[in-house]
Structure 1
Amino acid sequence: MYRGGMMNWRKGRGSFPSWLLILVLLVLREIKAAYHKHEIKHIAVSTSQTLLDLIVVCLVDDIHWASYHKSSQQFVMKAAWMSEALGKNIIEDIQQSAVKNEEYYQLAIHSLIRNDSQPERNHTLQILLDCDLDGEIQLSSHIKYGLDGEDMLQLDGLEGQWIVLNPIAHSFRFKLEEPFWSEVRKNYIKRYCIEIMQKILWNSSITKNRPPEVYVSRQDFPNGTITLSCTATGFYPQSILLHWEKGTDGAIWGKESSSGTLPNSDDTFYLRISLEIQPGDPGTGYACVVEHSQLESPTLYFVPENSSKGNLWTVALSIVLAAILTISCFVIFTKWKKRKSESSKSHGQIWIRTTANDPVWEDGNAE
């Protein structure tokens, strides 16, 4: 009966539902079919007996979305929409888990420093956990333990084997391989790493892929060097490739520098690369090549030729004109001041003739 209803509905609507369904599926596929990474970083400071401090930082695609601090025992979200995306029950569960696990960090440090000659000194435990998604497919997960800046243990995948990176961690490895702790680890990765990342991605603008906005500029310097800059901003996802090309051979001679890919305030990313060209190179024919998942193909952005050079001449001419105007004003002011001084002097004295051939000055104010 349900099938017959669907058939009648399709006949009445024509082909519209078919292409609409295809369009929706394509949009969903575009949103999902992207690589994403969730990192959870734990930093604990403790003696063998007391946990002094604990900070947990969570990042999705290098965007900081939440953190936990032992001092407040609060799981703090970076944006209100994230709380709505996860829901009240999950947030309370995360916070209770963080408070409950405080004891675990102190036990881990105690196990790692059991042979330490100074057990009462402070130690810093670092745990890095990450998981990767390609659409709805979990690619991998990794856990690494570090103590006081040195790597201790590493695990790749849910079913992998712990790799000891420091001999003092052998006994702790056996503890981690116990069935109870193995099950705790798997549940933690599934619930707090994978499922939370999926909820954030599905309910936020972070999944809206954006192509980069690209700006190319050129600056000429008096010593003959030229600096070319290529800036890409406002793009998502994070993965992008920028490089310089010249003509058809693609040979580039110069000093390159990069800002590195940095996050913007709107969860998009920013990258700038610069190329310093040596004197003698006119700087013509250069292009910035940009490759990003939201661009159909690698796109060339050519550098404007001599644009900065014209600006340099304009600045230089402005400086010369300003100098001429300043000097002219100074000369005019000096002459005016001299004339004023002579005029004041002539008004304060009287010219008299005592004899026909003997002129003298006499103070006109004298009584």
Structure 2
Amino acid sequence: MVNWRRRRGSFSSWLLILLLFALREIQTAHHKHEMKHIAVGTSQTLLDLLSVGLIDDIQWASYHKSNHQIVTKAAWMAEAVGMNFIEEMRHLTLNHEGDYQFVIHYLTRNDTKTERNHTLQILFNCEIDGNIQLSSLVKYGLDGEDLIQIERLEGQWVVLNPKAHSFKLILESPFWTEVRKRYNNRYCVGVMQKILQNSSMKENLPPEVYVSRRDFPNGTIRFSCTATGFYPQSILLHWKKGSDGVIWGKESSSGTLPNSDDTFYLRICLEIQSGDTETGYACVVDHSQLEAPAVYPVPEKPSQWNLRAVALNILLAAILMISCFVVFTKWKKRKSGIRAGVTLLGVRTHLAFYMGGVEAGAELQAQVKA
């Protein structure tokens, strides 16, 4: 019976390890490509157009009507996609400018004020897990209101606003259905796969990790573990206590967020209440650029003696600085007085030579020396 329990415990441990590795693989393989198009115009004219592409919430490219150019976030991304493909996407977006203006015109055809500006929003995204596409979404909005959407390639359009009932007939036509599927496969999924497959062109970086604690007056203690500057995005952070201690507390996470240099950032926090032993806590970080998971212990709470020593050192340093300042001020005043006395002596000597002749001047000098 005991051996069976041991085997069961060992099996559970291996199952947990396999689950963690599976979770890591899932996090690594799952990606999302999102394209946002924002067009501003009247029923007659397209005034502005901005298109932005984001992979895993990181902007990789943008297009603006003012210059009709696609600008990539980094040179390695343009190289991964290919300059010919970038030019193809530029021509496609340029040709679609007329389509955006047509949609605005069609959706506002009953508006009596034809010169009024309207904002058309089109969201297109796709998600993949490895080489398997999980989902696809296309959504239209006008002036901040959702109009119509479709969630799967083979799905049905769902009207979200009565204004879009007639527009649904256009979107369901064979021509626009084929355009949507081609756009999804080539420009959504295809672009994302090219960038992800060539992401090794960007330098991989390990995380910089900072662990801190904060003690509150009510006895609550908050531990923070911050990992930043790492690439690729996939990372695992978790708290541990001792070798197999149970973690009791309120955990929170910032989620993995992008930095301005295309690296990533993640912070996890743990709040424990007074009465917990508060010792033995550590943050465990696992990233592809680390040879093994790294353990960062939480700093211990400074003792009262250390706090008093720090306060005493600060006080002594302040007294020393004030004393030096006072001595320097007195020395400077004394030196100024000596210089003034020497100057006055020189003036009196010259006057004596001038008024009383050489003998008077020599006598004055002799008196001063004496």
TM-score, normalized by the shorter chain, greater than 0.5 = yes
The answer to whether the 8 Å contact 1:245/1:251 transfers is: no
Per-residue Cα deviation, 1:58-116 (whole angstroms, up to 9, x for no partner):
11222221111101011122233333333333222111101000011111122222333
Question: What secondary structure, in the 3-state scheme, does the structure 2 residue paired with 1:95 have?
Answer: helix
Per-residue Cα deviation, 1:120-154 (whole angstroms, up to 9, x for no partner):
21111111111122222222211111212221111
Distance, in Å, in 1 between the alignment partners of 2:331 and 2:165 is 93
Per-residue Cα deviation, 1:296-318 (whole angstroms, up to 9, x for no partner):
99876431213698986665344
Aligned partner letter, 1:89: N
Identity %: 68
Distance, in Å, in 1 between the alignment partners of 2:199 and 2:87 is 20
Change (3 A) 1:294 1:331: closer
- Are 1:203 and 2:213 matched, yes or no? no
Change (3 A) 1:194 1:339: closer
What RMSD in Å do the two structures reach over aligned CA positions?
Answer: 4.3
Q: How does 1:117-266 map to 2 (within 5 A)?
A: 117-205=112-200, 212-219=207-214, 227-238=222-233, 240=235, 242=237, 244=239, 248-252=245-249, 259-265=254-260
The answer to whether the 8 Å contact 2:63/2:71 transfers is: yes
Question: What secondary structure, in the 3-state scheme, does the structure 1 residue paired with 2:54 have?
Answer: strand
Q: Is 106-115 or 163-172 further displaced after alignment?
A: 106-115
- Are 1:41 and 2:36 matched, yes or no? yes
Task: Give 5+ residue unaligned stretches, structure 2.
Answer: 1-24, 345-370
Change (3 A) 1:336 1:39: closer
Task: Give 5+ residue unaligned stretches, structure 1.
Answer: 1-29, 349-367
Cα deviation, residue 287, structure 1: 3.2
Per-residue Cα deviation, 1:216-246 (whole angstroms, up to 9, x for no partner):
1235689977553201234455455645566
The answer to whether the 8 Å contact 1:36/1:60 transfers is: yes
Distance, in Å, in 2 between the alignment partners of 1:286 and 1:32 is 26
Match for residue 95 of structure 1 among 90, 103, 119? 90
How many positions carry a matched residue from both structures?
A: 319
The answer to whether the 8 Å contact 1:201/1:207 transfers is: no
The answer to whether the 8 Å contact 1:234/1:270 transfers is: yes
* 1:320 aligned residue: 315
Per-residue Cα deviation, 1:165-193 (whole angstroms, up to 9, x for no partner):
11211111111111111111111111111
Q: TM-score, normalised by structure 2?
A: 0.70
The answer to whether the 8 Å contact 1:219/1:309 transfers is: no
The answer to whether the 8 Å contact 1:245/1:252 transfers is: no
Higher helix fraction (1 or 2) = 2
Aligned partner letter, 2:123: L
Aligned partner letter, 2:171: L
Aligned partner letter, 2:311: A
Distance, in Å, in 2 between the alignment partners of 1:200 and 1:297 is 27
* 1:51 aligned residue: 46
Aligned partner letter, 2:183: Y
Q: TM-score, normalised by structure 1?
A: 0.71
Distance, in Å, in 2 between the alignment partners of 1:210 and 1:121 is 50
Higher strand fraction (1 or 2) = 1
